[in-house]
Structure 1
């Protein structure tokens, strides 16, 4: 596996250089830490968090530089090779006699020999085109299984009401009524989902408390969690089954990205409200949740 890892790393690095991308630029595109990108290019897959992340990061890297991630993972598993074996051409035979005699004797005997390489590479091209068409059809079939989350989902906190007894003094009743009116006018945080796919969800949060708190709970298995603000990680943690963790975004953060290694294994809450980003048709794969945050107006 070491040789395959080194070859895959060299292939990805060359593809990155061909696109004139630096490791920092690639980190911004893939949301993968630079040290993991360097480990992939060096073939040091043991430095990655685990087998799941090796496959996920290789696919993400390959997609960013225009390589076939599925094929590279197959190479890593020993199910494919990076380059098809070249056809072995027959060694030329030495024929005694003059050039004129050689031309006269061989021309009518082997008219198809010159066409063999053309036929061989034509068959390879047809095979590759067939595989691409088949993979395109498979991708469309998988996309059709993902349910459309609809235009938006709004989650609101329950409305709190206050009551007063009929026997309370008139002054106290007036105070309670004023408090109830003020409470009903208090701004409530609202979470709106603008888009949601298997790989990425975009959500808008309005009237949030500043700073905004985030809570993570692993419910079905291990999951790596990262939080990025302004292109850098402000939080990273690997949750085990049953783990609960929390963090708070920097004050006045308006844009943040939550990266989940296995999105179906974890629930996420923002400001105490759960984010709806999973679906029955979505696999437990890496997923980014992009948050656009607006806060309550200060008086």
Structure 2
């Protein structure tokens, strides 16, 4: 009886199609096609085509044999035997002449595929390396740019003084302007302002765009300004930049803008004193 059992085990697998053998082995292990697909990373539709022998629905001879061998290993069959049998079946059905199989081919092994979080981590490291390189390249090739940024708070000349920079002394900008000089207000951003005489007569009232200028009349009687954005105005006397009227988005009112008032204001407080507010 034992010998008969042994003979049954050695029956040629060719008595059944490759697909039938795979299906039978899968069912004996109580596995579904969906579970096989998850284990082998082979699309479920390709596994179903293997079991039904629908070779036309499969991607190609080499891939089909690879799928079958991976399927066989998962259900406990010999991948070499299944691969050989399937190759013969495909040749008999006219699915391409014999071609040597790609050595070591098999669908991706899930254990050899890195987790998704590792891929994201690698991408993040790549971005950090790139940013670090760009910063290094900027510092090495253009060191003056970094110095300019560091010194921007004390820039003089024709540059507008930012709201976060330290106001500078008038004498640091060059020759002291004349108290009879021409005062020009230049907008560095969109800003509304009103300039008026001591008696309240309006000299100017409008919204200015960046680059717009207003020249305070030389004969104005103690001209003063009202604006909510003193930080958006650059003030010059005879072309010489003087401290800003304010260094933040803070409304100022009744602040003198004649050359004499601006010079007195600069002398009275270095840096510029905070103007009165509403």
More helix by share: 2
Fold match, TM over 0.5?
A: no
Query: TM-score, structure 2 length as denominator?
Result: 0.31
More strand by share: 1
Larger Rg: 1 or 2? Answer: 2
